[in-house]
A = this chain, B = another copy of it.
Amino acid sequence: MSPDPWSLYALMLRSRLFEEAIAKLWHDGAISGEMHLGTGEEGIVAGVVAHLRDGDAMALDHRGTAPLLMRGEDPVAILRELLGRPDGLCGGKGGHMHLFSRRFLAASSGIVGAAGPAACGFALAAQHRDAGAVAVAFFGDGALNQGMLMESFGLAAAWDLPVLFVCKDDGWAITTRSDGVAGADPMARARGFGLPAVEVDGRDVAEVWEAARVAVGRARTGGGPSFLRARCVHLEGHFLGFQLVRIVRDPLRAGPEVAVPLTRSLLRPGGGSIAERLRGLTGVVGAVLSTLRDPRRDAANDPVRRAREALPRDADRLRALEQRIGLEIGGVLAEASP
């Protein structure tokens, strides 16, 4: 079995354009607080969500917009929710970190790791309600250090729950590199709970799709939970307006804000030895530098672009598709925020 590259590309492009519209609204101030986008992880989300059907459930993290959109939730309702309108998906009460869809059995949470227990609960209900249904949990690499998620791995394994745990691994938890604070690599950790674990390139939707097909199939037929690790790059960094990214994109403006107090404190009498201070400085500079070598600028890391390049040559069909989606999102935008 192989995926239909056109429909996967369509899913991803639609999500990308939708989130780019959200980014614009956020920059214009139409959206207030934090805004975490899924731009860069569309390959993972599309590759997994494409396998879901009625009765399946999704437990989402702080990047729930893309999965919900790809699953089929009304884009106008989602956008109105992000705009905080009473006619939004959740009446403006939830917001982008708390998107709920009764129709698609989806629950989001801004609490890191909460997708684990939620997916177990959805899967438990599935076992009782309609055997054959599955639950997917989406979370990041940082979440792997959260106790409740680890407990969920154990519970799902002990109860053979039909869960697919999807780790969208961008290597970062906000400003912290995961390899610096995690005991071992994610695969070993997942396997330590008895979960079958597979690793794929999350920038390649076809790879994800195939791995998800196997895992979801296993879950549907009583084979129990699986763990999928998919690497990706978040094109906007942790969230919109992310300081590290701002420093990189606008060093003249954002740089001094950081550098001046930093230097003053570095030279302040009283405190650590020169060696200790330098170790500290290395840490800060390191984080900024690893952002400077900005993988976001590398087109190879954009799953949407890669999906586009992987399409069979058919210029007309492509143009038609992109035009259709462009128009749709334009229409959504117009309808949601007159």
Q: Look across to chain B and name the residue whose beta carbon is closest to the beta carbon of A156.
A: B183
Q: Look across to chain B and name the residue whose beta carbon is closest to the beta carbon of A184.
A: B194
**Contact A188–B194 (Cβ < 8 Å):** yes
From B145, B148, B194, A183 is in contact (CB under 8 Å) with: B194
CB distance from A245 to the nearest CB of B (A): 25
- A148-B147, A151-B146 are contacts. A189–B184 as well, Cβ < 8 Å? no
With a CB–CB cut-off of 8 A, which chain B residues contact A194? 183-184, 188
**Contact B181–A158 (Cβ < 8 Å):** yes
Highest count of chain B CB atoms <10 Å: which of A156, A188, A189: A189
Within 8 Å of chain B (Cβ to Cβ): is A55? no
**Contact A184–B193 (Cβ < 8 Å):** yes
**Contact A189–B193 (Cβ < 8 Å):** yes
With a CB–CB cut-off of 8 A, which chain B residues contact A191? 184, 188, 192
**Contact B182–A158 (Cβ < 8 Å):** yes
From B151, B155, B157, B181, A184 is in contact (CB under 8 Å) with: B157
With a CB–CB cut-off of 8 A, which chain B residues contact A189? 192-193
Mark interface residues in A88-125 (1 if CB within 8 Å of B CB, else 0).
Answer: 00000000000000000000000000000000000000
**Contact A153–B193 (Cβ < 8 Å):** no
Within 8 Å of chain B (Cβ to Cβ): is A150? yes
Within 8 Å of chain B (Cβ to Cβ): is A241? no
Within 8 Å of chain B (Cβ to Cβ): is A78? no
- A147-B148, A147-B151 are contacts. A192–B188 as well, Cβ < 8 Å? yes
Within 8 Å of chain B (Cβ to Cβ): is A167? no
Interface residues of A in 177-198 (CB under 8 A from B): 180-184, 188-195
Within 8 Å of chain B (Cβ to Cβ): is A154? yes
With a CB–CB cut-off of 8 A, which chain B residues contact A150? 147, 150-151
CB distance from A298 to the nearest CB of B (A): 29
With a CB–CB cut-off of 8 A, which chain B residues contact A153? 183
**Contact A154–B145 (Cβ < 8 Å):** yes
Highest count of chain B CB atoms <10 Å: which of A184, A192, A194: A192
CB distance from A233 to the nearest CB of B (A): 23
From B146, B154, B195, A182 is in contact (CB under 8 Å) with: B154
Q: Look across to chain B and name the residue whose beta carbon is closest to the beta carbon of A185.
A: B194
Q: Look across to chain B and name the residue whose beta carbon is closest to the beta carbon of A150.
A: B150
Given contacts A147-B148, A153-B183, A183-B194, 17 further A-B contacts (CB under 8 A): A145-B151, A147-B147, A147-B151, A150-B150, A150-B151, A155-B183, A157-B183, A157-B184, A158-B180, A158-B183, A184-B191, A184-B194, A188-B191, A188-B194, A189-B193, A191-B192, A192-B192
Pull 12 A–B residue pairs with CB atoms less than 8 Å apart, ordered by A.
A145-B154, A147-B147, A150-B151, A153-B183, A158-B180, A183-B194, A183-B195, A184-B193, A184-B194, A188-B192, A189-B193, A192-B192
